[in-house]
Homo-oligomer: A and B are copies of this chain.
Amino acid sequence: MAATLKDVAKLADVHSSTVSRVLRGNQDLRIPEETRRKIFAAAKVLNYYPDQTARSLRMKKSYSIGLILPDITNPFFARIARSIEICSYDTGYTMIVCNTDEDQAKEDHIMNSLFSRGIDGLIIAPVQNSIEHIRELKDQKFPFVLVDRFFDEMETNAVVSNNEDSAFDAVEYLVQNGHQRVAMIQGRKELYTIKKRVIGYKRAVEHFLLDNSPELIAGDGFCMEDGYEAAKQILNLDQKPTAILISGNLVTVGAIQAIIDMGLVIPDDISIVAYADNVFSPYLIKPLTTVSHPLTEIGTRAFELLKEHMESERPLPYSKIVVQSCFEERKSVKNLLA
């Protein structure tokens, strides 16, 4: 059995409240060196570690945070989770990760379970089929930060990427390389980030007067098969595009596979720009021009923002932090003007 404060107190021949004070290191109270020494010695002998459960109950603070993500198996979220974990570890918080699989009911259930466990704060990439439980967080003034996703209709803390701009920029880059017909394989349509990318894409198409046929936007879902099918569909159009903007790691692999299967060559026959994570790129043999997200920064800033809100006496104003995507030029885009 683990030693308790009382055990230490008995061994050091003082009262348990004194032990608590000494071990918590309350500076302002001057405690004789002799007493401190006795107590530390006793704690050492008994290998005393404070019972966090009791502490949490008493202090109404658990030094733990919740992290709710779609799926930790996705390298994108794994990397964000990891950087949050590092921050938590460094500052004495314990992080509890849960996965929703994009299931709203599961998200609701997880949130309740985390609350009954007394988390001090929450970081969440919400499913976004419902907004009520998030609104309740606001109402309760509970500290939380959204990551990767945002509710445009509601002010909250959030750390998100500039998806709309990065999609616009990607198309602009293709235009500068002489492309006039640019397709998009979008990934899961109803997702916040995807919607933003599509908006950026459309804005660019309009702005640069590109071919705006609706068939140029295809795909739904994040599996390899989704990418494979969408690419086939697009490349079988009468008016084939010269370039494709692709969203999603596995979608990209699927699309490349389709291109190979159709006997086409990147970038000679078709140019590619992909939203693909840096964690993912090493796994690919083909060099790829990519738009990627600063995942470590997203995690770090989300944690810092949360910490600020958790440790503030009074409610703080919300911050929406927009991090910049990173564009990396590699040999998957042909310059048609050259």
Binding site for B on A (CB under 8 A): 2, 49-54, 56-57, 62, 64, 71-73, 75, 78-79, 81-82, 85-86, 89, 94-99, 110, 112-113, 115-118, 224, 249-250, 253, 256-257, 260, 279-280, 282-286
Contacts and interface: CB of A to CB of B under 8 A. Distances in A.
7 contacts: A2-B115, A51-B118, A71-B82, A73-B279, A82-B99, A257-B285, A285-B286
Contacts of A116: 49-52
How many copies the complex holds: the figure is 2
A11 to B, nearest CB: 19
B286 A283 contact: no
B94 A117 contact: yes
Nearest to A223: B282
A49 B112 CA distance: 8
Nearest to A50: B116
A72 B62 contact: no
Contact of A284 (B54, B73, B89, B284): B284
B52 A117 contact: yes
Contacts of A89: 98, 110
Contacts of A50: 116
Given A85-B98, A94-B96, A94-B117, 5 more contacts: A53-B117, A73-B78, A75-B78, A89-B98, A95-B96
Contacts of A283: 249-250, 253, 280, 283-284
A249 to B, nearest CB: 7
Contacts of A118: 51-53
A161 B98 CA distance: 27
Nearest to A48: B116
The 3 closest A-B pairs by CB, nearest first: A283-B283, A49-B116, A52-B117
A79 B89 CA distance: 22
